Every structure is written in structure tokens, then in C-alpha cells.
Amino acid sequence: MLRDTDLQRKLDTLMSLAADDRDGVPPRLRHARDAGALGPLNIRSLRPGSGPGTRLLRILMTNACSYNCHYCPMRRDRELPRILLKPAELVRIFLGARRRGWVDGLFVTTGIPSNPVKVMDGLIEALELLRERYRFGGYIHVKLVAGAETAQIERLTALASRISLNLEAPCGQHLAQIAPEKSLPVALADLERVRSLVIRERTARAHGKPADPLRPGGAAGMTMQFVVGATPDTDRTLIDSVARLQAGGAIHHAHFSAFRPITDTPMESVPAAPALREHRLYQAEHLLRAYGFAAEEVVYEPSGNLPLATDPKIAWALAHPERFPVEVTSAGRAELLRVPGIGPVAAGRIVAERAGATPRGLTDLRRLGVVTAWAGGFLTLRGRRLQTTRWAEQLGFWAPEEEAGSYHLAYEVSPGTFR
């Protein structure tokens, strides 16, 4: 864990790397510290799926933007010191951090100071420098700016490990109300272009085409991001959209960012979306991706949102008493995966272990990775119930729906800014 002082020292060192030896820090970067959390550098340890423990340096190529999205701290009309990293500066910073052993991979995102085509030119230049001149073969995650040219999309997809797209909302009309310059059909068309390129590359690799030596990890799939609670879209609409998009293949996962009101924006007085809502959406999306759930099986409140008080898998299990209890000694992997507290690893271990000796009780199940406080009430072992109670809601001082509180907080930055 980095202490604040360590982090600040590293950020200062990295910013100094952007300086040219002869001329020092360019005037464009002199106010980088004044931009606070919206400055260009942000060291985060993330696991993007390219290998355990990959540490990413997150770089905001610029916090300048010509768009005026109502929810965004970087919107055109908001007072903010604006900083722009040139592609060569971005590359110097990243390689300096990597040389020091601080990071292994790169995450690049950006505002749109001019137009998407110009911004994409800068991103492509940075990635070409890294891959071709400096022979960096590791993980690079880059934000594709919707509205780019087809040739740019092809080039960026060939250079990056993972491409992400900010869709923001599942409904085009709702998106237009909060992001007047954005278009959902344009973003979706770009997503389909990237998808077809990723699928084509994966198919070629499956047929024996050798890996590109400049990008040995190949295409790691796409991600897409939604702002939750900035539009009236329900969780059902969000999850159904994600399921439709995932069905076409090449999507790694979806990102959800709970809306936070930002000072000096048109949405400053709109209430924040509960962080727990974002968490429940991630859990529901995980059910589709890793547990074999269909979108229609997810359980919602009458409002169309996920119940905040209950994990979505437990909500499904409680709504389907006819599917329980599940017998540990004979249930198949898919059946075990439906039990709250049993994940893919634990389900696999139970099936494998049963070939030798059957688990004898809760202790054995815990050893195999089962969360028995959740699973016990949904299981039998040789016909005997392992636990009589199924699931009790966690006790809290107030209902999760009230998490955003009765008073209103407005923020300077939103967690979704760097996704």
C-alpha cells in the first residue's frame, strides 16, 4: 500500500520525466499539481485480467474537453487548470515508472479537447511509440473516443491490449439529455467495429496464426462503461443492455460508475446514486458472465432496480425455493453454482473432491472455498440439512436505500472519471 508521501514523490518524479532535458517542464504542465485529482497521473494497482497483480499507471492524456457533459468534472464550461500531455511525454512518463519497477502496464484515458479524430491521432502516436520504437509488449488499456475514423479504430485495436468505450447510458435519448455532444448509436457502431476486429484476431490465433511479437498477449477483449443514476434508466435496462452486448462476444466486462454530483455542473443538485447500487450491478453482471445466469433470471424490485439489501444471487435463490436444497453429494457443477456462497472455484473443487471422498460437513466445505454462512441453508449432505436458516438480511442502522443520506454532498471529481 502506497503512503500519501510515497505517492506524491512518485507523481512528482513522473511529472518531471515529462520535462525536456534542455527546456525543463513545458508551460502546459506547470499547473499539473493544481488540477488535483484531475491531473494527468494516477498510480493505481489494478488487475486487468492480463495476469495476476499487473500494476497499471493510469494516465489522463488531457483533462481539457470541448464537450459539455452535464455530469462531468472536466466539462468545457467548468473552471479547471487544463493540462495536456503530448504523446512523447506520456511515453516518457510511463517508461520512467516502469524502469523504476512501479508499474507493469498502462491505462490511458482522455478528454476530447478538439474532436475525436485529432484525439485518436494522439493516442495512436503514443501507442505506436511504445510498441514500435520502445518494443513494449505488455498490457495497454486505452479509451476509444467514439466518432473516430474506421482506419483509426483498426490501428488502435491492433496496438492496444484492451479497448474500452464509454457508453454512459443504455438509452440514446437519455444520453442526449446529459451529454449533448455524445451519440449512443455512434458509440455502439464503434463498439461493433472493435468487436469484429477482436473476433477476427482471436479466430486467426485459434487457427494457428502466430502472436504479434509487439503485442504477444493479443486482444484482451473490450470493456464498456455506464454512469448509473445520472439518467432514469433502471438496473433492469442496464443489465439487459449489457447482456445483449455481451452475447456478441469479445466483451470482457462492463464498468458501472455510480453518479456523483459535481460542483459547478448542471447536475450539482441531483442526488448521488448509492455506491451500493453500483456494487449490486457488478454482482448481477458477474452472474451473467461467470455463473451462467440469463438476463431474464435476475430478480428486480417493482421499480426495475436490483434490491439493495440483498446480493443478487441470494435474491434469485430466495425467489426460487423449488430449486433448493441442493444435495452436495450428487449435484452437478451448474447446480452447485446456483447456490449462494458457492463460486466457480468452490463448485469445481466439490465435484473434483467427490470423486475421492465426499465432504463430511461444513468444515470440509469451508476448506473447499464455500462461504458456508450463505450456502449452508441451501444445501443438504446425504439428505440432511446443513443449516436451518437460509439467509438473514444484514442488520444495519438504516436501509441501504437511504445510504446517500438526507443531506446533499457535491464533489470535485467522480470515481468514473478515470474509467
Q: Going by C-beta distance under 8 Å and a sequence separation of 6 or more, which residues neighbour residue 202?
A: 218, 219, 250
Query: To the nearest whole angstrom, how small is the minimum distance from the Cβ of residue 270 to ligand SF4?
Result: 15
Which set of grid coordinates corresponds to residue 210?
502466430
Q: How far is CA 228 from CA 81, 294, 297, in A?
A: 27, 21, 21
Q: DSSP states of 222-243 as a string?
A: EEEEEEESSSS--HHHHHHHHH
Residue 105 backbone phi and psi in degrees, to 5: -140, 175
3-state secondary structure of 254: strand
Query: To the nearest whole angstrom, how small is the minimum distance from the Cβ of residue 181 to ligand SF4?
Result: 7
Q: Which is nearer to ligand SF4, 183 or 358 (CB)?
A: 183
Q: DSSP states of 187-224 as a string?
A: HHHHHHHHHHHHHHHHHHHHTTPPPPTTSTT----EEE
Q: Which is nearer to ligand SF4, 50 or 166 (CB)?
A: 166
Closest CA to 186 of 141, 149, 214, 155: 149
**Rounded distance, CA 255 to CA 311, Å?**
18
End-to-end CA distance of the chain: 21
Sign of the four-CA dihedral 199, 200, 203, 208: negative
Nearest-5° Cα angle at 175, 170 to 180:
160
Query: To the nearest whole angstrom, how small is the minimum distance from the Cβ of residue 227 to ligand SF4?
Result: 8
Q: Which is nearer to ligand SF4, 64 or 194 (CB)?
A: 64
What is the CB-side half-sphere exposure of residue 315 using CA atoms within 13 A? Answer: 18
Query: To the nearest whole angstrom, how small is the minimum distance from the Cβ of residue 143 to ligand SF4?
Result: 9
- Partners of residue 255 on adjacent β-strands: 225
Contact 338, 323 (CB under 8 A): yes
Closest CA to 164 of 146, 182, 148: 146
Query: To the nearest whole angstrom, how small is the minimum distance from the Cβ of residue 283 to ligand SF4?
Result: 26
Q: Which is nearer to ligand SF4, 36 or 292 (CB)?
A: 36
Q: Which is nearer to ligand SF4, 72 or 350 (CB)?
A: 72
Q: Which is nearer to ligand SF4, 218 or 266 (CB)?
A: 266
Query: To the nearest whole angstrom, how small is the minimum distance from the Cβ of residue 128 to ligand SF4?
Result: 23
Residues interacting with ligand SF4, by CB under 6 A?
65, 67, 69, 72, 74-75, 111-112, 179
Q: Which is nearer to ligand SF4, 148 or 346 (CB)?
A: 148
Q: Which is nearer to ligand SF4, 340 or 416 (CB)?
A: 416
Query: To the nearest whole angstrom, how small is the minimum distance from the Cβ of residue 335 to ligand SF4?
Result: 43
Q: Which is nearer to ligand SF4, 67 or 300 (CB)?
A: 67
Query: To the nearest whole angstrom, how small is the minimum distance from the Cβ of residue 321 to ligand SF4?
Result: 44
Query: To the nearest whole angstrom, how small is the minimum distance from the Cβ of residue 67 to ligand SF4?
Result: 4
